[in-house]
Structure 1
Amino acid sequence: MRNDLLLALRTQRGWTQEELSERSGISVRTIRNLERGRVQSPRRSSLDLLFSVLDPEQRGSRAAGAAPPGAGLPGAGQGTGRGVGSGVGNGVGNGAAGAFPLARQGRTGGQPAPSSSTMPTPPLTPPPAFGAAAGATGPGFTPAARLQTRWRGPRAPRTALVGRDGDLDRLCDIVTGHPVTVITGPGGIGKSRLALAVAERTAGAFPGGVAVAQLGRITATAGVAGGSGGVGPGSGSRPGSAPGSGPAGLPVAGLAGPGGDGPGALAAAGQAVTELLGDERQPRGSGPALLVLDTAEHLPQTTALLVEQLRGAWPDARIVVTTRRPPVLPEARIFETAPLPLDSAVELMSRRLASNSLTDDLAGSPDRVRELCRELDCVPRLIEFAAYWLRSVPVSALLRPEHVLELLGVPDVSALPHQRSMRGSLEWSWGMLDSRQRQFMARLAERPEPVASDGIGSDAGSEAEFSSTEAVCLLAELADASLLQVRRGHRYEYRMLRHVRAFVRHRAQPATALTRPTPLRAAAGG
């Protein structure tokens, strides 16, 4: 790796070496030596940790191809794909002989990943503790010692977490009191942000350290097409689902679009966690650790097996999973993340507008901003997108569904590709649905009111193509995928968020309607 590449990426982001060290988990001394060209053969894991925060979209290709002629990087670029995991990237392919090769393997050795539709469960040897600081264990250990706790992977943004105080308190109690916590909710709702905030607040309770593994990129290198069987809970299939599909109608070894829940994905996920935990050789027993598995909705089987293996090998660890679609984990505690209260959403918008040197009045008016927050379902990520665009377009433009679908997004290379725009986020969820689920979503999008459980027979299932039984199954599946919000009580109500409905309706439009030109009108007084 050219030393000027690391320096250029760091300065481009405006970070000091200390800030890069804090975000990546790599020591300041190592960063300094890399930038000065004093390290001729840097570790692959160190490069991936750095590129995971500096240039996550290109970190695999940079690590594989950035070395000048004659300056080889052992372990860099010998894999068969881009790195996977935030701070834990690896080439995947022949080098992934099993899910958890804790003894670091060469990237060109080993056996190919199994190609059968049955997910392998290779034995997992207990990983060592990976970061207990000196003096961080024993009776004298207090939450203040969190500053000494080793952190691997990305950290939470430094901006304030608005409107989540209650959620944060409850999650801290859940995470410290239960072995596995699953944080679920629709895209952009703030699952990852909450998980990182919980990890930072509770870090002092984990002398073994905190590790954050980003699973959202595994599909780019480890997806396995084809196969049969189910990825959802149970072993039956929904009435009307395609042959060879599970209860959710999804093929086991490759989801449509962002899929990849197969043997290769398990090997990649295991290798990702191995890279995250395997550098340190501290003795076992230095204290429990916290592991965050972020963005796991496209890997339900992989995540379930991964957690099962980690729990068997590392019983003292606490595991947090963020996902739009929770995996089947019998001992997990599920936390559903709801949209912000409207007042908190408006506060978040005001904070983001202020950071752009805007005010509510300049952006339109406080009432219009409040209306915009409501139309965006008080989803934090969408509000941040809107605040970014209010520098350039008026509120009225963002209140039009056909505009908001195309506009809402930011060029943030530190985020996963599907997290950079509203449409990309919804396409990510849409890609995990089968044809029946999409058809049913289109039917529901035509209805402005929620669907009640006691009215399914006469409403949602009234169309000839859906029986009442299938309609019940489809409602459950779409709710499980966080595409429908459920109000539970004597009867259940299923509600589609406004921006989801706008997306589904937009997708159902004929292609000619999507490409019809919009006439331009001269501004009055211009």
Structure 2
Amino acid sequence: MTNVVDLARDVAVQRRLRGWTQEDLAERTGLSVRTIRNLELGVVQNPRRSSVDLLADALGVFNRSTTTDHRPHQVPQWRGTKLPALPVIEHHPSAAQLSHLVKTVAANQLTTFVGPGGVGKTSLAFGVALELGSSFRDGVAVVELSDLVPEHVKGESQAPSIARRVRRVIGADRPAAADNLPLCSRDTNLLLIMDNTEHVPVGSIQVARDLLNQCPDLRIVITARSRLTERLGSNQEIQPLSVEPQPGDGPFGAPAVEFVLRHLGGDSMAAASLLEELPSLVELCRRLDGIPRYLEFAAERLRTLPIQYLLSCGPSLDMLFTHDHALPPHQQSVAASIKWDVDLLSCSQRRLLECVSSLPTSTFAIEDVMAAYGESSIVGTEPLVLMSELMVTPLVRADTEEPHHYRLAPYVGHFVQSMTSNTLRRRRRPCEALVDDANRSATLAQPSLCGVVERPGGVHPRLPDQRDRDAAAGARVDR
């Protein structure tokens, strides 16, 4: 090991790959569970050489003179989006989960990783690629699709744009006139990851089907916030991190808790103080539903704020964001992530979501929704159909304690109520103020949940946002 960060990373990852708890590793090395925990969290800045040697012997993977690469196998070629600097599986400590996903991808031509925004679909897809990549002659290719204009905005399938990106990444780019030619050669042996596809479902499945028909040795992993198809391949639900510790790992072994501590860094004063405030940290993780991206946002705030301040504020929706501009815009805050999901709903689904968010209890049954729906002004659509569609989105979760009961995902209710409140305030403004306040035209362009803004003289379509303008102007050939 050349530094403690590499040591912490490798011990944790290699232990989990073997399915061992911290207690298991302690028995195999003779070290205490506390020592192993502190090493994995990076709290120990100068570990004893003897401890490092014991870990190396037990795990059987370390070169004691060089830094260990966390990649299980050497991928012959990696194209497209690059691997992150941190281990891609560190926040999914269940070796069984990764092993199951690896087997599923190997056995199916198409596998879709499904789960709410920020749950770790891309990280696990990369983890699977590292495990399987060496078995593909042409390696791994990653195609990022988050910046494509949504199909419901563009009004047509994005298959041509997706196909061009696939050709470009796998090295089979052709002129636009050759779009009717095969996407890849028949002997292509590749693992392809199509990342962030929920807003372009028609085009994604169309391109995936064409690829699999043309290239029988291809394997495709799609990441999406909701299921794109039930008829093609396998859908794998990705779950948030557990707030409960794994047996044998002690209180700090809860995956969500450990993730926050590791994200803060072992040399952080915040991490050291949180070791003394475990109940508060567990409560924070529970409020954030164990979603890794949300936990990252909270960890950024914990670098400068005591955890009690975050808990006393909620933490509020506007506290959960990052300044990491390497992320797509809709992944840079909880509010932006929820807005992305809401924007993919139909107008009737958004109206129903307003009804659900106004319910007085945190959990609800179908009967509660029907009653709220009947008191609203929504007409023209069967509420049971709308509710069944809404329940398969990331915005609604099944209640784990009571059958046939549901709850909104964290912060969805706050977001919806804020959007509704902002819309109502704009409606109450005098006509003259709406006309004269030219400098605040962006506020007028803020869409209501239904995608329209009521102004004096009637209801008008919402003003186009940047994605609409890009689509109209054809800012990019493959958008």
TM-score by length of 1: 0.57
2:122 to 184, 192, 195: 192
Cα 1:476/1:410, change in 2 over 3 Å: same
Aligned mate of 1:254, from 147, 152, 155: 152
Q: CA deviation at 1:193?
A: 1.0
Equivalent residues in 2 for 1:257-268, closer than 5 Å: 260=154, 262-263=156-157, 265-268=158-161
Residue 345 of structure 2 is aligned to residue 452 of structure 1: no
1:39-91 CA distance string (max 9 Å, x none): xxxxxxxxxxxxxxxxxxxxxxxxxxxxxxxxxxxxxxxxxxxxxxxxxxxxx
Q: Aligned partners of 2:241 and 2:368: how far apart in 1?
A: 29
SS at match of 1:270: helix
CA distance in 2 between partners of 1:395 and 1:513 (Å): 34
| Residues 259-316 of structure 1, C-alpha deviations (whole Å, 9 max, x = no match) | x4624x32211110000112599x9676631111000011011111111111111122
**Which of residues 366, 370, 389 is equivalent to 2:282?**
370
Cα deviation 1:84-138 (Å, max 9, x = unaligned)? xxxxxxxxxxxxxxxxxxxxxxxxxxxxxxxxxxxxxxxxxxxxxxxxxxxxxxx
Question: How big is the shift at 1:510?
Answer: 4.4
Specify the SS of the correspondent of 1:480. Answer: coil
Q: 1:418: which partner in 2?
A: 330
Q: 1:158 aligns with which of 58, 82, 86?
A: 86
1:273 equivalent in alignment to 2:177: no
Cα distance in 1 for residues equivalent to 2:356 and 2:313:
17
Deviations 1:222-264 (A, max 9, x none): x6xxxxxxxxxxxxxxxxxxxxxxxxxxxxx533xxxx4624x
Structure 1 runs not aligned, ≥5 long: 1-143, 224-252, 515-526
Contact 2:113 2:236 in 1 (8 A): yes
- Partner-residue secondary structure (3-state), 2:406: strand
Q: Give yes or no for contact 1:261–1:302 (8 Å, CA) kept in 2.
A: no
Unaligned runs of 5+ in 2: 1-70, 175-183, 244-253, 427-479
- Read off the aligned partner of 1:394 and give its amino acid letter: P
SS in 2 for 1:186: coil
Match of 2:447 in 1: none
Partner of 2:195: 294
Give distance in 2, aligned partners of 1:173 and 1:303: 23
Displacement of 1:387: 0.5
Cα distance in 2 between the residues matched to 1:513 and 1:492? 36
Name which of 248, 264, 289 aligns with 1:353: 264
What SS does the corresponding residue of 1:430 show, helix, strand or coil? helix
**Structure 1 residues 270 and 286, CA, compared in 2 at 3 Å: closer, same or farther?**
closer
Question: How far apart, CA to CA, are the structure 2 residues paired with 1:442 and 1:210?
Answer: 42
Q: Is the 8 A contact 2:300 2:322 kept in 1?
A: yes
Per the TM alignment, residue 394 of structure 1 is displaced from its structure 2 partner at its CA by 2.7
**Would the aligned equivalents of 2:390 and 2:396 in 1 still touch at CA under 8 Å?**
yes
Structure 1 Cα separation of the partners of residues 392 and 220 of structure 2: 20
Q: Does 1:320 align with 2:221?
A: yes
Please say if residues 187 and 215 of structure 2, whose CA atoms lie closer than 8 Å, have aligned partners that are also in contact: no
- Give the drift of 1:481: 2.2
Structure with greater helix share of residues? 2
* Residues 493 and 324 of structure 1: CA distance in aligned 2, closer, same or farther (over 3 Å): same
The 3-state SS of whatever aligns with 2:391 is helix
Matched pairs, number: 332
Give the root-mean-square deviation of aligned CA atoms. 3.3
1:186/1:482 contact within 8 Å kept = yes
Question: Which position in structure 2 is the counterpart of 1:382?
Answer: 294
Whether the 8 Å CA contact 2:197–2:224 is kept in 1: the answer is yes
Amino acid at match of 1:289: L
Q: State the TM-score, normalized to the length of structure 2.
A: 0.62
Structure 1 partner of 2:341: 429
- CA distance in 2 between counterparts of 1:418 and 1:175 reads 27
Q: Take 2:312 and 2:342, find their aligned partners in 1: how far apart are those partners?
A: 22
